[in-house]
Amino acid sequence: MEKAWDYIVAGAGSAGCVLAARLSQDPTVSVLLVEAGGSDNTLLVQMPAAVGMAILSPRFNWRLASQPEPGLNGRTIYTPRGRGLGGSSSINGMIYIRGHALDYDRWAFEEGCPGWSYGDVLPYFRRAEDHEAGENAWHGTGGPLHVRTGSRHLHNPLYDAFIAAGVAAGYTTTDDVNGARQEGLGRFEMTVRNGRRWSTANAYLRPARSRSNLTVMTQAHVVRVALDDGRAAGLEVQLKGRRRVLRADREVILCAGAIGSPGILLHSGIGPAEELRRLGIAVAVDLPEVGANLEDHLEVHVQQACTQPISLLRELAPHRKLLTGLQWLVSRRGMGATNHYEAGAFVRSRPDVPHPDLQIHFAPIAYGDDAAARRVIEHGYRVHIGPLRPRSRGRLWLASADPAVPPAFCFNYLDDEQDIADLRASVRVARAIFAQAPLAPFRGRELSPGESVQSDGEIDAWVRQRAESGYHPAGTCRMGSDAKAVVDPQCRVRGVAGLRVVDASIMPSIVSGNLNAPVIMLAERAADMIAGKALLPPCDPRRA
């Protein structure tokens, strides 16, 4: 073993950058942050509007794919995962959604995670934030993560028309989907600061890198956790063609995400014993649920042609793209400074659900008749819509004992009949909104599913052929108080001292919304646990 650090954090993503920054605030401890990728400091990552290119780039993305999905006609589903400083926060859509308050109450009171209720986690959401609108009971200022609503100097009438159409369809509006009322249509918030993507690398890591007690090691692929007599002694990594063992005197914290973290555990001999033995991996701890409980948000794209030339198609002409890039480089303003998902909604598919179970992202662009081809051939607009709390569960396993081979995984989408019913309802909700009068001045023909898809059977068949991942894998290192849980409510791996997991993999159930903000919150709270600090006092404005 080489030089020792107090803490070693594996993965410089949405959680890892937060932990490295927070733990290294104590000058008496040393922190090593290990990342398989490299720098994120390129236009492709930093310009918000370039997200479509960043999410396809192998430089910044592991470009994973599921195994053939039985519920989706055997299709493999593209599953991008961030690679490089900032991790998935450097390639995501920058949408800032916390989830619903009842998600966290479910964790605490139904799923064996005491201390993770909404009142417990809200102070950490607030601590992370530097909210453009200012501080109130729900939001904070002065934190590392800048949060703002859409670019006010960019006005596309389709955003307001969509919100008005939702109201005409019978839905409500909300001024703040992350505040007192998630339900309704309104403006979505984004992690963008001064026209630049505000990833965790920008928000947390860059200000901390000047600290002498923080070391950042890039291009280092984690092979396994080094174990010594039942304790995590460090990490074995592949760096510059050779194996190195990096020693941790206090703790190793895995922050490699819902695909990466269970993979590291399995290669370390921590997981289902029989599965590990079949691959010739020595069993250190028999934890059958490592890799189980895999969840994701599945969604469909309902798209409409636009009769007026006001969609983003006009911005894709070569000269317009050049002007957008130049304007962004000079001023960090203009069409390059937004993610273009500035409006959306949370609605119910049926009245008996306890809180909104469908999420809608609206964008003033469409992909033409074949959404899968990603070709923009005419003016249009679209929604991404899908169920927030799917019942189907998949799993992850090792395809090989070779750590260079990514884990295999299957989401098992639509295994539960309620999930296909919810996606069928999603199509009908989107169509009902698009049919309202406020969108009439813009409404052309339906591009997808298309007018020929009407019956339950036709919609179900289209869903199975065209549904896509929302890029929110979670749950593969489930947190809980029961003996089967992979980590306990302090994020400690069962059966191994000095080892924690902090990322979306520990979610006992997926939250109702995008996952970046919840993962940042997880890391903020876990940082206090790891450092032995008193947790922030609970605060729940719902009870005020």
User: Cβ of 273: how many Cβ atoms within 10 Å?
Assistant: 15
Cite the beta strand spans of 333-439 per DSSP E: 343-347, 358-363, 380-387, 395-397, 408-410
For residues 71-101, one letter each, b for 16 or more C-beta atoms within 10 angstroms of the residue's C-beta and e for the rest, the string is bbeebebebbbbbbbbbbbbbbbbbbbbbbb
Helix (H, G, I), strand (E, B) or coil at 50: helix
How far is Cα 499 from Cα 206, in angstroms, rounded to an integer? 26
Pair of tokens at residue 216? 């950042």
User: Cβ of 56: how many Cβ atoms within 10 Å?
Assistant: 15
How far is Cα 255 from Cα 233, in angstroms, rounded to an integer? 17
How far is Cα 11 from Cα 436, in angstroms, rounded to an integer? 46
Q: What letter would DSSP give residue 398? A: -
Q: Which residues are catalytic?
A: 472
Cite the beta strand spans of 138-230 per DSSP E: 145-147, 184-187, 189-190, 192-193, 196-197, 214-217, 220-228
Cite the beta strand spans of 240-357 per DSSP E: 242-254, 270-271, 285-286, 298-306, 343-347
Tally the C-alpha atoms within 13 A of residue 49's C-alpha that lie toward its C-beta: 26
Q: What is the DSSP string of 56-115?
A: T-TTTB--EEPSPBGGGTTB--EE--B-STTGGGGTS--EE----HHHHHHHHHTSS-TT
How far is Cα 273 from Cα 152, in angstroms, rounded to an integer? 55
Q: What is the DSSP string of 457-511?
A: HHHHHHHHHH-EE-S--B-TT-B-SSTT-SB-TT-BBTT-BTEEE-SGGG-SS--
> In one letter, which amino acid is 518?
P
- Quote the Cα angle for 256-261-262, to 5°: 160
- The label of the residue with tokens 């890799």 reads 291
